[in-house]
Amino acid sequence: MKDSIIYLKENLHNISFSDVKVLASSVPIKLSNKEKLSEIIDILSSDKRKNVLSLAKKIETSIQKEEAEYIRVRAMYMFDKQFSNFRYVAGVDEVGRGPLAGPIVGAAVILDFNNLGDIILGIKDSKVLSEQRREELDVIIREKALAYSITVCDNKQIDTLGIAHCNNKIFLDACKTLPIEPQLVLSDGYPVRNLNKPNKFVIKGDAKSASIACASIIAKVYRDRLMKEYDSIYPGYGFKDNVGYGTQKHVDAIHAIGTCEIHRMSFLNNILSKK
């Protein structure tokens, strides 16, 4: 890496732009590389070529975005860290409350708030992330979390017990199955009933709390993968694309071929009445 920077500095005016790009990209855009990236920017800025100067500006903008992202995510970690009188703080969230088919999935995550130099950049409400980014973050969260758990209530339970009961049940089960027992639970949107330990519910928690955001992401990745598996078992409804939500294609399929084993019949009264 250092050799690339030295070579770039010594040969900048004698090499092609494509070679300049290769050498500059040898240093990944990360805050830990800020000093080296600043050196590269200074080197590129000494060139008169517009494309080289544009590359310097692009790298500078990327560093600024990385810094802004660090500040945003660090604030989410600090939100959770304010409860540092509790040794282990878990964030819980659910995915799949509203679909016409499939389970509701809950997750709980305990993060390490003693090392804010190694925070997980990119975490936020799972619904606003691309599928690829969620998949990437899912791996990182599972690696860096002190503990996590995922729980499920299937469509049969939802029809029998009701969605509100199942929503609370997966929160409870996620907390109870964590390999580390939390002393405080931060829940997204709703208090967790019958938890028997301190609980703070946070409105829009997946935008404010790092642990809730992480729970949101791993729950969504788990559920989306499950719905893609169901798509091959129950073709025709578009589960791999709509993950069970009531898109027009999904509703049309219900009218055309009927319901399947994973449909929430208690959610379909209005749809079936119009058949």
Q: Per residue in 52-62, pLDDT tens?
A: 999 999 999 99
Report the relative pairing of strands 199-202 and 184-188 from DSSP bridges: parallel
Q: Is the pLDDT assigned to residue 242 strictly greater than 90?
A: yes
- The rounded distance, in Å, linking the Cα atoms of 27 and 149 is 36
pLDDT at 33: 87
For 76-94, what is each residue's pLDDT tens digit?
999 999 998 999 999 999 9
Residue whose tokens read 């500095």: 9
d(C-alpha 113, C-alpha 48), whole Å? 46
Q: 89-223 sits in which CATH class?
A: alpha beta
Task: Enter the tokens of residue 137.
Answer: 């973050």
Q: The tokens of 229 are what?
A: 């598996």
261 marked as binding residue: no
- Average confidence (pLDDT) over 141-159: 97
- In the chain, the amino acid numbered 262 is I
* Cα–Cα distance measured from residue 218 to residue 239, given in angstroms and rounded to the nearest whole number: 19
**What average pLDDT does the structure give for the chain?**
94
The residues facing 101 across adjacent strands are 263
pLDDT of residue 30: 86
On the CB side of 50, CA atoms within 13 Å amount to 0
Is residue 185 within a helix (H) or strand (E), and if so which, with residue range? Answer: strand 184-188
The C-alpha R_g of the chain, in whole angstroms, comes to 24
42 annotated ligand-binding residue: no
Contact 168, 192 (CB under 8 A): yes
Positive/negative CA dihedral, 108, 113, 115, 117: positive
**Residue 205's CB: how many other CB atoms inside 10 A?**
25
**pTM for this structure?**
0.89
Calculate mean pLDDT across residues 123-152.
96
Is 159 annotated as contributing to ligand binding? no
Checking if the pLDDT of 269 tops 60, the result is yes
Residue 206 near residue 218 (C-beta atoms within 8 A): no
Token representation of residue 57: 């500006």
pLDDT category of residue 115 using cuts at 50, 70 and 90 = confident
pLDDT greater than 60 at residue 1: no
What does the pLDDT read at residue 2? 60
